[in-house]
Amino acid sequence: MIISKIKKFLETSNHPLIVIGGPTASGKTKLAVKLCKEFDGEIINADSRQIYDEMEIGNERTKPEEMEGIPHHLLAIAKPDEVITIADYKRLAEKVIDDIHSRKKIPFLVGGTGLYLDVVTRNFQIPVGHPDQKLRKKLEQKSVEELLQNLQKIDRKEYEKQKIQKNKRFIIRALEIFQLTGQSKSNTAGQANPKYDSFKIAINWPREILYDRINQRTAYQLEHGMIEEVQTLLKKYDPLLPAMTSIGCKEVIPYLKNEITKEELLGTLRQNNRNYAKRQLTWFKKDPDYHWIEGNAI
């Protein structure tokens, strides 16, 4: 069914972009590879964690064997101490999409970071203001709840969004924009006419099956080098860097300090990944343009 819908979409689209979203562990890569084979496509990563190098296990980066020969773009393009802003991501993604179009192939924007998908498909105009690393480090010391309290005072619209998402990095960026520009993120960010014709797909699983997939994958990561990977990272990078505070890294640090057991670590990782999946589902279900397909149909 979804293949016939895509065919119909491509018949009338001048600048097509196939978007595949959904929660973590839902099978986005598998579906994308399958559809790329069908439609001569290439994949652009839209997962904010997979843009970082040296974090292959914790961030569950797509493995070469999973790609099945399909070109993948914007994977492992930055070191953990490099800053990739939303504006940077948008610029890089559009450059890749335009290149894929120039070669008469179909671009597939694939990932679970809803903002990455939206900034490209809706052509958001990003607020100005270069990152202030000193301010960011100061804000990183605060809890999400404390940051939300500050955000509520200056940007009610963004606060309402982040009250659900609770994405610490995005909250800090909103506070930073206000400090740098004197304006709220909501007032400085705009939306222009879309550059591409988007066909959006999202993957759905019964909640208990999705959670089981998350639990199994988390256990696999933990037993196949996640702890050792974080140990190596901590020798090179500040644990307060945004990349180091993502799921799959921050949870391991208390274990390395002997503050929790390995069993407790596994439980925390599983819970945090399930919570992340809930937030992702909330984000995607608010967008009526997504065509939802069942995971067992992939």
Residue 165 has pLDDT above 80, yes or no: no
The dihedrals phi and psi of 204, each to the nearest 5 degrees, come to -120, 140
Please tell me the predicted confidence (pLDDT) of residue 136. 80
Rounded distance, CA 226 to CA 95, Å?
32
Q: What CATH number matches the domain at 207-278, 3.50.50.60, 1.10.287.890, 3.40.50.300, 3.30.70.2740?
A: 1.10.287.890
**CATH architecture for the domain at 2-125+192-205+284-297:** 3-Layer(aba) Sandwich (3.40)
* CATH code 1.10.287.890 region(s) in the chain: 207-278
Q: In terms of C-beta density within 10 A (0-12 exposed, 13-18 middle, 19 or more buried), how is residue 191 classed?
A: exposed
Token reading at 260? 């929790």
DSSP secondary structure letters along the chain: -HHHHHHHHHHH-SSEEEEEE-STTS-HHHHHHHHHHHHTEEEEE--TTTTBTT-TTTTTPPPHHHHTT--EESSS-B-TTS---HHHHHHHHHHHHHHHHHTT-EEEEE-S-HHHHHHHHTTEEPPP----HHHHHHHHTS-HHHHHHHHHHH-HHHHHHHHHH--HHHHHHHHHHHHHHSS-HHHH-EE---SSEEEEEEEE--HHHHHHHHHHHHHHHHHTTHHHHHHHHHTTS-TTSGGGGSTTTTTHHHHHTTSS-HHHHHHHHHHHHHHHHHHHHHHHHT-TTEEEEEGGG-
pTM of the model: 0.82
Q: Terminus-to-terminus CA distance in the chain, angstroms?
A: 11
210-213-219 Cα angle (round to 5): 140
195-251: pLDDT as tens digits: 999 999 999 999 999 999 999 999 999 999 999 999 999 999 999 898 998 899 999
Residue 267 has pLDDT above 90, yes or no: yes
64-94: pLDDT as tens digits: 999 999 999 999 999 999 988 888 999 999 9
* CATH code 3.40.50.300 region(s) in the chain: 2-125+192-205+284-297
Residue 130 has pLDDT above 70, yes or no: no
Please tell me the predicted confidence (pLDDT) of residue 220. 96
